[in-house]
Structure 1
Amino acid sequence: MMKRTRLDEYVISRLCPIVILISLLLLLLIQSTNTDAQVLTTRKAAAPSRRGSKAYTVIFDAGSTGSRVHVFCFDHNLDLIPVGNELEFYSQVKPGLSAYAKNPQEAAYSLKSLLVEAESVVPPNLHPKTPVRVGATAGLRSLEGDTADRILQAVRDFLKDNSSLKFRPDLVTVLDGSQEGTFQWVTINYLLGNLGNRYSNTVGVVDLGGGSVQMAYAISEKAAEKSPKTTDGKDYVKDITLKGTKYHLYVHSYLNYGLLAARAEIFKAVGASDNPCILDGYHGSYRYGGSVYDVSASHSGSSFIKCRRAAVNALKVNKSICTHMNCTFGGVWNGGGGAGQKNLFVASFFFDIAGEVGFIDRKQPTAKAKPADFRNAAKHACKVSFQNAKATYPLAEEGDLPYLCMDLVYQYTLLKDGFGLDPLREITLVKDVKYKDYLVEAAWPLGSAIDLVSSY
C-alpha cells in the first residue's frame, strides 16, 4: 500500500468538500427531474379527466308555433363549450305538437328529424349519459281534456323506442309557466355573467311567447318572506341556488296572454268582425286553440284609441279586484318591484314585432327601447290599410300584417297597463346575448339545460 504524503492529504482535504457539494447538486438535480416528471405525468393524466367531464344535454322546446331542439355542451366549470362550429346546435320544425291534437302518434313522429339531428352531434359514446328533456309550453297547456296527456305519452313512447339518449319519462312534460319563466331568467343572467352575484346585480325578464307571457326577477329575502299566495294557493316566489348564491325569484306566467293567444282574447272581448284593431280592408280567418274566428276590419278602419280600449278590456286591467298592495293585471301580485327589476330584458315577440315594423335593427342581438316606442309604432300602424301594409312593412311576416295594429297596441298596453311600466322607461329588447365570442339565443332551453346538467 502506498503511503500518503502531506501533499496528498492536503489535496484530499481540499477536494472532499468539492466532491460532496457536486454529489449534493447531482442528487438535487435527479430529484428535481423526478419531480418534474411526476408533475408532467399528473398533468397528462388530468387532461383525459377534463375531456371526459364534458356534459351534453338535449332540450326539445315544444312551443305553440313549432318544435325546436337545442343541444348544449358544458365543461366541468359549467361553462358552455362549442358544439361543432357554434355554441349550441339548433333546429326546428313546424307546426307544433298542439297542431296534432287528433293524432298523438303523428305529433310524436314530428320530432323524429330533430331527434336524428340531435343524436348526430352528440358523441355516440356519450349518448347513454346525455339526458333528453321535452318541455311543452303554452300550446299544449291550452288544449282541452286529456289531449295534452295523450300527446306527451306518445312522445315518451317514441323516445323510449327510438332514442339512444338517456331517457326518463318524467322529463317529458308540459312545463309549468313558472318553470318556463324561471328557466328564462336563468338563461339571460347566466349569459350575462350575473349568476353568483347579489340579487340586485341581476336583471329581470319578461318573455312574450305565443300562448303565454312570463315575468321573473329576483327579490330581497325580506320581500320574499312577505309574499302572498296565488289564488290557487301556489307560491309566487321560487328559491333557487346558483353558483353558490341563493335567489328568491318572483315568477308568474299568464296563460292566454302570449301574443297569439292575446289576439283571440281581444276577439272575445270586442268581437272578431268589425274589429277596430284589424287593418282597414282585411277580411279572413284566425285560428288559435282549436277555435276559428271570422275576422274583418271595422267599417271605419283600425283605430289606435278604440284598439287600446279593447286591449285593456282583454287584459282585465281592473285594480278593484287586486287583493294585494301591488298588482299587475287580473289580480296578480307584481312581486313588489325592487333592485332585481331595475334592469328589464324583454324577449321573444317583443323583439320580433319591433324588428318587423322597423323601430329596432333586428340584425342586432339586443336593442334599447321604451314602451312608448310600441305606442308610437302602433299609432302609425293603425293608420295603414291592409292593401298598403306589405309596402309599408316589408320586413313583416305575411301572417302578421293584418294584426300589426293589434299586436303593437297589445304590447304597449301589456307593458304600461299590465306591468305598470313608465312609458319612457328604458328596457332592453333581446333576441340573443353575447357569451364569449358567440351569440346565444335568450330562450328558456338553456336555463333548462343548466338545471338538468346540474342535477345529473
Structure 2
Amino acid sequence: MAPPLLLRALSLLFLLPLVVDGSVLGRKAAAGGRVGREIESYAVIFDAGSTGSRVHVFRFDENMDLLYLGDDIELFVQVKPGLSSYADDPQKAANSLIPLLEEAEGVVPEELQPTTPVRLGATAGLRNLGEEKSEEILQAVRDLFQNNSLFEYKSEWITVLEGYQEGSYLWVAMNYLLGNLGNRYSDTVGVVDLGGGSVQMAYALSEQAAANAPNISIGGDPYVTKQLLNETNYYLYAYSYLNYGLLAARAGILEAADEPYNYCMLGGYTGSYEYNGEVYNASASPSGSSYSKCRTETIKVLKINETCAYEDCTFGGVWSGGGGDGQKNLYVASFFYDRAAQVGFIDSEKPNALVTPSDFEEATKMACKLSLEEANVTYPNVAEEDLPYICMDLVYEYTLLVDGFGLEPSQEIILVTKVEYGDSYVGAAWPLGSAIEVVSSQSTQSLAMKNLRRLWLQQ
C-alpha cells in the first residue's frame, strides 16, 4: 500500500487543473528580474504574418511576471518576406526562419531549451494560400524545429491560427500588460489589430450578452469563447475579418474600380499592385485622387449594406458582439498606428497616442488633395512603395473605424505600438498572449510535479 504522504501527493497532482488559455497568471509587477529567480520559464513564439516573419522570446518568473532578457524585456527580430511568399518552395520558406531560430537560441539558456516551448502561428498570409500549400510549408517548418533545435516541440504548436485566436491572444496580451486581468470585464480594454491580410476585433462581454451570441455553422469559428484568466472568467468576443487587412483591402479597392484608373491613387502615379499572386491596375485618374469617390469605393468593398441575420452587425454580415462596457476603451494597433505616425498626426517617438477617427478623416482629406510629387515632400516618413497608396490607406482606415466598426467620429481611441510595463515597454502584439497560454499551462503541471517530488522525498 502506498504511504499516506504519497497518496496525498498523487491526489494533489490529479486535482490540480490542466490550465488552458492562460488561466494561471500572477499580478503584473515592475519589470525587474535582473536578479536570478528560483523558477523561470521561457517561451519562443514565431509570428508568421503576411508581410514578414517575426520571433518573440519572453521570460517569466514563477508568478507569470515578465523578466528581462539581458537589457530588454523581450527579444524581437523580424525578416521579410513572409512564409506565403515561398508558396512553391516550402523548404525555402522554412529556411527563412533559421536566422530567427538562431537569435532565439542565443538568449535562452541551453539547459532550459528542452523545456522551452517553441510555437509558430501563421496568420492571413498562409490562410490565403489554401490548405494544401500552407500545410506543405508548415510541415517543412515542423521538420526544421524538430531536427535543428533543442526547444520543446509539438507538431500542433506549428499551425495556422484560427481567426478568433489572433484577436484573443492580443486581447490577453494587452490586458495583461495593463494589469487588467482579474478585474471585472467592464474594466478591461478592447483591441483592434489591422494587419496586412486581416483585421481583428476582440473585447469582453457580460455573461448575459455572451449567452445571446448567435450560433455558428458547423466548422465556423465561435464568436465568443469563455476563458479563465487570473481566477476570473471572461466571455471574449473575437472575430477576424480575412481579406480586410490593409494590403488585402488595397487589392479589393483596386479590383472594384469601374474605370481603368482609380480615384484612391495619388495623381501622377501609373503602375500595378500585386497581392496574393494577383496583379491589379493601380494607375491614378487623370484628375488625381478624390476623398469622396475613394470613400464610395471603400464602402462598397467593406460590404457595409450586406444583409445581416443579426440585430447588431459590423460589415459583411458579421455579428458585432453587441458592444457594451468591454468595448468602451479601445486600443488600436499595427497599421493604424503606423500610418498615423508616418503622416505625422501622432508622434512616432511615443508608444501610444489618444486620437479620434476624425483625426484620420482630417489626415485623409489632406492626403487625397496631393499629387504623388507633393506627397513625396509632405510625407518623408512614408516608404516609397507605400506613398502612391497613402490616400487609399487612410480612407480605408477611417471608413473601417466609422462605417465598419461603427465608432463615432468623436470617440477617443488609443493608437498603440508598445505598452509600458514596469520600467520598460513591450510590443502590442498577439505572441505574448500565446506565450502566456503555453507557459502558464506548463507552470501548473511543473508545480504539481515539484510538490509530488517534495512529498516523495519525505518518505
Task: Give TM-score, length-normalised by structure 1.
Answer: 0.88
Return closer, same or farther for 1:352/1:295 CA change in 2, 3 Å cut-off.
same
Superposition pairs of residues 159-170 of structure 1, within 5 angstroms = 159-170=145-156
One of 249, 254, 259 as aligned partner of 2:241: 254
- The alignment status of 1:293 with 2:280, answered yes or no, reads yes
More helix by share: 1
Residue 342 of structure 2 corresponds to 356
Distance in 2 (CA, whole Å) between partners of 1:52 and 1:200 is 36
One of 329, 338, 359 as aligned partner of 1:343: 329
Secondary structure, aligned partner of 1:86: coil
Query: 2:341 touches 2:347 (CA, 8 Å); kept in 1?
Result: yes
Give the aligned CA root-mean-square deviation in angstroms.
1.1
Residue 351 of structure 1 aligns with an amino acid whose one-letter code is: Y
- Number of residue pairs matched? 406
One of 28, 42, 51 as aligned partner of 1:56: 42
Distance in 2 (CA, whole Å) between partners of 1:338 and 1:294 is 42
> 1:12-34 CA distances to partner (integer Å, 9 max, x unpaired)?
xxxxxxxxxxxxxxxxxxxxxxx
Query: 1:71 touches 1:88 (CA, 8 Å); kept in 2?
Result: yes
Superposition pairs of residues 277-292 of structure 1, within 5 angstroms = 277-292=264-279
One of 160, 165, 187 as aligned partner of 1:201: 187
- Following superposition, the deviation at residue 234 of structure 1 comes to 3.9
Distance in 2 (CA, whole Å) between partners of 1:191 and 1:238 is 21
Query: 2:255 touches 2:280 (CA, 8 Å); kept in 1?
Result: no
Superposition pairs of residues 182-261 of structure 1, within 5 angstroms = 182-230=168-216, 233-261=220-248
One of 252, 260, 263 as aligned partner of 2:250: 263
Distance in 2 (CA, whole Å) between partners of 1:87 and 1:413 is 36
Q: Which stretch shifts more, 86-95 or 293-302?
A: 293-302
- Following superposition, the deviation at residue 294 of structure 1 comes to 2.6
One of 102, 105, 108 as aligned partner of 2:88: 102
Q: Which stretch shifts more, 414-423 or 141-150?
A: 141-150
Residue 434 of structure 1 corresponds to 420
Residue 427 of structure 1 aligns with an amino acid whose one-letter code is: I
Secondary structure, aligned partner of 1:98: helix
Return closer, same or farther for 1:86/1:151 CA change in 2, 3 Å cut-off.
same
One of 151, 162, 170 as aligned partner of 2:137: 151
Residue 42 of structure 1 corresponds to none
Distance in 2 (CA, whole Å) between partners of 1:130 and 1:141 is 27
One of 61, 82, 98 as aligned partner of 2:68: 82
Residue 327 of structure 1 aligns with an amino acid whose one-letter code is: C
Query: 1:272 touches 1:295 (CA, 8 Å); kept in 2?
Result: no
Runs of 4+ in 1 over 6 A off after TM superposition: none
Secondary structure, aligned partner of 1:331: coil
Distance in 1 (CA, whole Å) between partners of 2:221 and 2:51 is 28
Identity %: 60
> 1:147-204 CA distances to partner (integer Å, 9 max, x unpaired)?
1010000100111110111111110001111000000000110000000110000000
One of 292, 299, 304 as aligned partner of 1:312: 299
Secondary structure, aligned partner of 2:67: coil
Task: Give TM-score, length-normalised by structure 2.
Answer: 0.87
Return closer, same or farther for 1:442/1:399 CA change in 2, 3 Å cut-off.
same
> 1:265-305 CA distances to partner (integer Å, 9 max, x unpaired)?
11122258410000001012211111111310012210000
Distance in 2 (CA, whole Å) between partners of 1:218 and 1:88 is 27
Residue 270 of structure 2 aligns with an amino acid whose one-letter code is: H
Distance in 2 (CA, whole Å) between partners of 1:357 and 1:105 is 39
Secondary structure, aligned partner of 1:193: coil
Secondary structure, aligned partner of 2:172: helix
Distance in 2 (CA, whole Å) between partners of 1:453 and 1:124 is 18
Segments of structure 2 that go 5 or more residues without pairing to the other structure are 1-35, 443-459
Secondary structure, aligned partner of 1:399: coil
- Following superposition, the deviation at residue 455 of structure 1 comes to 1.6
- Following superposition, the deviation at residue 231 of structure 1 comes to 5.1
Segments of structure 1 that go 5 or more residues without pairing to the other structure are 1-49
Residue 384 of structure 1 corresponds to 370
- Following superposition, the deviation at residue 51 of structure 1 comes to 2.7
Query: 2:254 touches 2:281 (CA, 8 Å); kept in 1?
Result: no
Based on CA coordinates, which of the two structures has the bigger radius of gyration?
A: 1
One of 242, 248, 262 as aligned partner of 1:275: 262
